[in-house]
């Protein structure tokens, strides 16, 4: 058919392409269009990255819990935005991804996804417990902050205290808190300058030392670098410029790695040698301590051995045969681990070109503990015979509903957390406890020896601090001290490695400690003991658990006076929400502190029950005849809220 005939037959003029009609052209174009699925791809699954990271460590884990937790969190946070303008759900999702890369288990990731729901949405802790179980609920409750509207200036201190107590039952509470703060630091640009300085300062003062105590160097390094970035951006940029523009640095370090591997092979030691570059905050700290006008950063490598502790000392000999050691630059943290269980050998040698080089030597097991600390049993579950072993190993439980008896301690396993829990019990109130905790988290510490014991104390500690570490009676009766065999004043500052002997009075009329000791003691134990002796708190507030118990007792007494009994707490939880309290604990503490009357609470509780029964116009199934022995016997558990 020619062009003219085609035009007549179709009514559509042909194009100039080999007699092809416009209809044909359109058909070709339509057939070449991508289908709707190609043009508008389905949105990516928001939890894909989280599940992928989780499966890299826990390949057989069931991810249904994570998907369900994400859906609940997304629904509850819908409409909420962060300071950056991003949907709020991006924050809990990012926190969960940080924890997944650390190697945490599914329960922890689910709690991370939900960790702000109870605090910032209408989702209650009771609902969360019913939906996800007691473990997830405990973790979320542990990181939920107390409401400033009800606790005022004490809210932050009460929150920290609550978090430490919750960590005594499950260490994962603190791990979630650290991941939460890390993501907040990663997105701190969206905050005002004043907020950036405040949050970065609090991170450096409490969260970074806490991360160090838990041994999670994988988190600590980035936290510290973010702190430096926001507190001293000029110094951060100066260090960044130095690190980015060092000529031949990588070649020099790679040569060290090659020579180190050769030294191991000659001694027939199985292991690997890796570069171990310092992070920016570490460079800054060493520069400040040395008073250097330029950033100080020595080349550094780490030797990781497949064997046991003795192989580390064999590797040390191999390194010292390869390079000349520098006297006074050797530290043995295997025989004397740090308080966060850090174990390695440190030595400094003269490398090629007479350049000082730092060498770290450790086993593979030590390396895992150094990098991940309390997280290591979760990241490497194959090393644990059972899941419960991993939990009990790092959970210094004292008394809890889900009590786990820890195995025999090795190398003082997490003595710091046990110590913090003991300080919490001894502190008269939350504010005093937090002040003591901050003192205990002092980054600079020294190691001294007294009466055959190895003691870790804050830098600048005195013999009085040593005395109180040996015992309260020893501290109270301390009269003199010798340091390295020399009689020394009680206010003298000790140095690392000192051997201290405390002399105590045996006189019955000994006057006891002196108030002026408070001016120079550094250790939290000494400060707490002396503060309790010489200062009286304005209000004997007691611990959080004490006040919760007092609040419950006051409400129970008010119910008895009305010949009623509380069968379960659900009605009380509903009343707390109706009265604008964030949770039941806050209401109970308000009752204990006489900020609201127990009689008022009980009257409203009874009124709500009676009104509901009257509205239903049915016999009040939750009201029973008065019992003569109600004051002597506990209320019978039933499905009712109040019994009369």
Q: Where are the beta strands (DSSP E) in 97-179?
A: none
Q: Are strands 445-450 and 453-458 parallel, antiparallel or unpaired?
A: antiparallel
Q: Phi/psi zone of residue 411: left (φ > 0), alpha (ψ -120 to 50 degrees), beta?
A: left
By C-alpha distance, which of 313, 365, 368, 318 is closest to 335? 313
Phi and psi at residue 2, in whole multiples of 5°? -80, 180
By C-alpha distance, which of 469, 481, 478, 480 is closest to 510? 478
**Cα-based torsion angle of the residue sequence 430, 431, 434, 440 in order, rounded to the nearest 10 degrees:** -110
Q: Is 345 helix (H, G, I), strand (E, B) or coil?
A: strand
Please give the positions annotated as active site.
119-120
Spatial contact of 284 and 232, defined as CB atoms under 8 Å apart: yes
DSSP state letters, 155-169: HHHHHHHHHHHHHHH
Instruction: Give the full edge-to-edge strand order of the sheet including 478-483.
Output: 453-458, 445-450, 499-504, 478-483, 486-488
By C-alpha distance, which of 363, 358, 364, 336 is closest to 346? 358
Give, in order, the Cα–Cα distances in Å from 78 to each of 95, 121, 329.
17, 10, 56
Q: What is the DSSP letter of 328?
A: T
Spatial contact of 432 and 415, defined as CB atoms under 8 Å apart: no
CA 603-605-611 angle, 5° bins: 95
Distant-in-sequence, close-in-space partners of 511: CB < 8 Å, separation ≥ 6: none
Helix axes 524-534, 463-470, angle to 10 degrees: 90
Which residue is associated with the tokens 């035009």? 7
Q: Where are the beta strands (DSSP E) in 335-431?
A: 345-350, 356-363
By C-alpha distance, which of 106, 77, 101, 103 is closest to 90? 77
* Secondary structure, 3-state, 44-87: CCCCHHHHHHHHHHCCCCCCHHHHHHHHHHHHHHCCCECCCCCE
By C-alpha distance, which of 193, 224, 208, 332 is closest to 286? 224
Which two tokens mark 583?
Answer: 């949770």
What gap in Å lies between CA 127 and CA 118, rounded to an integer?
A: 9
Q: How many CA atoms lie within 13 A of 531 on its CB side?
A: 20
Q: Phi/psi zone of residue 354: left (φ > 0), alpha (ψ -120 to 50 degrees), beta?
A: left
CA 296-299-456 angle, 5° bins: 70
Spatial contact of 541 and 547, defined as CB atoms under 8 Å apart: yes
């Amino acid at each position: 058919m020619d062009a003219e005939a085609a035009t007549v037959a179709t009514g559509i003029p042909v194009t100039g392409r080999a007699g092809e009609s416009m209809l044909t052209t359109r058909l070709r174009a339509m057939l070449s269009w991508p289908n709707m699925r190609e043009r508008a791809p389905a949105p990516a699954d928001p939890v894909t990255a989280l599940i992928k990271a989780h499966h890299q460590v826990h390949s057989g884990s069931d991810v249904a819990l994570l998907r369900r937790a994400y859906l609940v969190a997304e629904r509850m946070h819908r409409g909420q935005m962060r300071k950056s303008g991003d949907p709020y759900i991006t924050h809990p999702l990012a926190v969960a991804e940080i924890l997944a890369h650390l190697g945490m288990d599914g329960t922890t990731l689910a709690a991370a996804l939900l960790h702000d729901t109870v605090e910032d949405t209408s989702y209650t802790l009771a609902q969360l417990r019913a939906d996800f179980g007691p473990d997830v609920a405990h973790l979320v409750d542990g990181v939920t902050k107390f409401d400033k509207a009800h606790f005022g200036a004490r809210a932050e201190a009460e929150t920290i205290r609550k978090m430490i107590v919750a960590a005594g039952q499950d260490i994962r509470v603190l791990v979630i808190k650290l991941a939460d703060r890390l993501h907040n630091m990663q997105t701190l640009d969206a905050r005002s300058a004043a907020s950036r300085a405040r949050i970065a300062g609090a991170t450096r003062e409490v969260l970074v030392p806490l991360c160090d105590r838990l041994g999670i160097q994988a988190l600590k390094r980035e936290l510290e670098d973010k702190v430096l970035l926001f507190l001293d951006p000029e110094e951060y940029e100066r260090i960044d410029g130095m690190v980015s523009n060092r000529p031949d640095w990588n070649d020099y370090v790679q040569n060290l790695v090659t020579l180190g591997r050769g030294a191991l092979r000659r001694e027939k030691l199985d292991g690997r040698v890796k570069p171990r570059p310092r992070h920016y905050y570490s460079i800054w700290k060493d520069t400040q301590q040395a008073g250097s006008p330029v950033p100080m950063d020595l080349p550094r490598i780490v030797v990781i051995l497949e064997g046991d502790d003795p192989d580390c000392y064999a590797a040390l000999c191999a390194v010292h045969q390869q390079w000349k050691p520098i006297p006074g630059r050797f530290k043995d943290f295997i025989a004397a681990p740090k308080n966060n269980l850090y174990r390695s050998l440190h030595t400094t040698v003269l490398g090629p070109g007479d350049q000082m080089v730092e060498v770290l030597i450790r086993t593979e097991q030590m390396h895992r503990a150094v990098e991940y600390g309390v997280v290591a049993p979760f990241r490497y579950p194959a090393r644990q015979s059972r899941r419960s072993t991993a939990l009990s190993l790092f959970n210094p439980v004292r008394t809890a509903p889900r009590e786990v008896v820890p195995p025999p301690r090795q190398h003082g396993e997490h003595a710091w957390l046990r110590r913090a829990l003991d300080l919490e019990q001894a502190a008269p109130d939350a504010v005093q406890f937090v002040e003591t905790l901050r003192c205990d988290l002092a980054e600079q510490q020294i190691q001294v020896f007294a009466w055959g014991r190895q003691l870790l104390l804050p830098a600048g500690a005195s013999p009085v601090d040593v005395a109180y570490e040996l015992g309260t009676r020893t501290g109270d009766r301390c009269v003199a001290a010798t340091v390295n065999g020399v009689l020394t004043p009680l206010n003298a500052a000790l140095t690392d490695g000192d051997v201290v002997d405390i002399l105590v009075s045996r006189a019955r009329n000994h006057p006891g400690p002196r108030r002026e000791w408070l001016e120079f003691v550094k250790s939290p134990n000494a400060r707490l003991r002396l503060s309790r002796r010489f200062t009286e708190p304005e209000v004997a507030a007691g611990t959080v658990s004490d006040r919760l118990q007092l609040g419950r007792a006051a409400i129970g007494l008010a119910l008895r006076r009305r010949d009623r009994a509380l069968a379960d707490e659900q009605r009380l939880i509903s009343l707390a929400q109706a009265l604008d309290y964030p949770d039941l604990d806050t209401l109970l503490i308000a009752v204990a502190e006489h900020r609201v009357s127990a009689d008022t609470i009980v009257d409203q509780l009874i009124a709500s029950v009676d009104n509901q029964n009257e509205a239903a116009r049915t016999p009040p199934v939750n009201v029973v005849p008065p019992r003569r022995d109600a004051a002597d016997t506990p209320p019978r558990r039933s499905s009712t809220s109040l019994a009369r």
